[in-house]
Amino acid sequence: MESKGWTIKGGEENPQFNYMGGEIDNDWRQGVCAVLENNIGEEITIIVDPESESQNRLIVHQETSKSGMIEKKVQEQMQVIQEQMRDLGYEIGESRSGVASIPQMGSADRLGQAHATEQIRQQIQH
């Protein structure tokens, strides 16, 4: 995503990427997450969620309340981000959009806390 203008939030001092929280904090069996930002301060959270032994689900989230953008604008931007990821060779499945706030999404530390994975899965199911 770097070639598309996105970098890991926090820089070298506090990079915002981590293993997701499962039964324990930073449980490597639960996948990984990263909070990215672009040069105009927009942020997205990407989670690689293992669905099975051979299949991962890619979750891309932008917190609407934090960005201050209206839902339609977020949907448009998410389509652009998904196209950028497809251009990079990632398989992107069906997209769903919603205005639900998911506070854990803005911080790799919070996403790495125990049980964060199941909480996120429940929130994105709705």
Nearest to 38 by CA among 28, 46, 30, 49: 46
Phi, psi at 8, each rounded to 5°: -70, 125
- The tens digit of pLDDT for each residue in 83-113 reads 887 888 877 666 665 556 787 888 999 999 9
pLDDT value for 27? 93
**DSSP codes of every residue in 20-61:** PPSSSTT-GGG-EEEEEE-TTS-EEEEEEEE-SSS-EEEEEE
Residue 61 CA to residue 102 CA, distance in Å, equals 9
Query: Look-up: residue for tokens 């919070």?
Result: 110
- The tens digit of pLDDT for each residue in 21-60 reads 999 999 998 999 999 998 888 888 888 888 777 778 788 8
Residue 123 CA to residue 117 CA, distance in Å, equals 10
- The tens digit of pLDDT for each residue in 66-80 reads 555 566 777 777 788
Phi, psi at 49, each rounded to 5°: -105, 110
Say what the alpha-carbon torsion angle 48, 104, 35, 70 is, to the nearest 10 degrees: 110
pTM over 0.85: no
